[in-house]
């Protein structure tokens, strides 16, 4: 997707983050929200990070979802260089199960916000939903699709566990 066509940028520190971050992409697809998915590493591709973050608003993005694991500086560094809302997803790391990612992302200094979600798949999914919620504030059709998605989720909850015939 060319710059200017996607409402949401989903960026991640490594291709190894995609199995987590694809859950954000899937929610946005289900809600009809355009997104572009990019690998942008704070440590391995710092110039790519700077170029992305400094031009993100002019490129037409409205929300950035940033996922990273371990020493997860990506969401905070992007937030330092763009006024767009940045939603951070702590990716579950092998060594510390994502607690390192969570603390790296959530403990921003006052003045540079990153909206931090839960560790892993749930966080990525909720980042997609939150991005859609932000966009829905100025998009009635999307607000309707989001309401329908939530209603379907509610309708899918059983009132009782399914008993096995004995």
Contact 156, 146 (CB under 8 A): no
| Binding of residue 69 to ligand RP5 (CB under 6 A) | yes
Q: Least Å distance between CB 49 and ligand RP5?
A: 11
Sequence-distant (6+) residues with CB within 8 A of 20 are: 12, 67, 89, 91, 92, 120, 121, 123, 124
Q: What is the total count of residues that contact ligand RP5 (CB under 6 A)? A: 10
x/- track of binding to ligand RP5 for residues 84-123 (CB under 6 A)? -------x--------------------------------
Binder to ligand RP5 among 10, 33, 70, 84 (CB under 6 A)?
A: 70
| Binding of residue 41 to ligand RP5 (CB under 6 A) | yes
88: β partners: 66, 116
Choices 47-55, 65-73, 77-85, 140-148; region in contact with ligand RP5 by CB under 6 A:
65-73
Give CA–CA dist 56/13, Å, rounded: 17
The answer to whether the annotation marks 94 as part of a ligand binding site is no
Contact 67, 41 (CB under 8 A): no
Question: How many Cα neighbours within 13 Å face the side chain of 69?
Answer: 21
| Binding of residue 126 to ligand RP5 (CB under 6 A) | no
Helix (H, G, I), strand (E, B) or coil at 92: coil
Annotated binding site for substrate: 14, 17, 44
Report the interface residues with ligand RP5, using CB under 6 A: 13-14, 16-17, 41, 43, 68-70, 91
């Amino acid at each position: 997707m060319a710059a200017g066509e996607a409402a949401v940028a989903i960026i991640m520190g490594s291709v190894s983050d995609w199995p987590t971050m694809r859950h954000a992409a899937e929610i946005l697809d289900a809600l009809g929200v355009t997104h572009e998915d990019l690998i942008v590493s704070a440590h391995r591709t710092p110039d790519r990070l700077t170029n992305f973050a400094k031009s993100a608003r002019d490129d037409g993005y409205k929300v950035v979802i940033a996922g990273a694991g371990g020493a997860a500086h990506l969401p905070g560094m992007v937030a330092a260089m763009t006024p767009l809302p940045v939603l951070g997803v702590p990716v579950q790391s092998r060594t510390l199960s994502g607690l390192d990612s969570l603390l790296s992302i959530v403990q921003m200094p006052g003045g540079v916000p990153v909206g931090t979600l839960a560790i892993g798949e749930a966080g990525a999914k909720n980042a997609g939903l939150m991005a859609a919620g932000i966009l829905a504030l100025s998009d009635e059709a999307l607000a309707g699709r989001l309401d329908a998605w939530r209603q379907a989720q509610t309708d899918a909850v059983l009132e009782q566990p399914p008993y096995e015939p004995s």
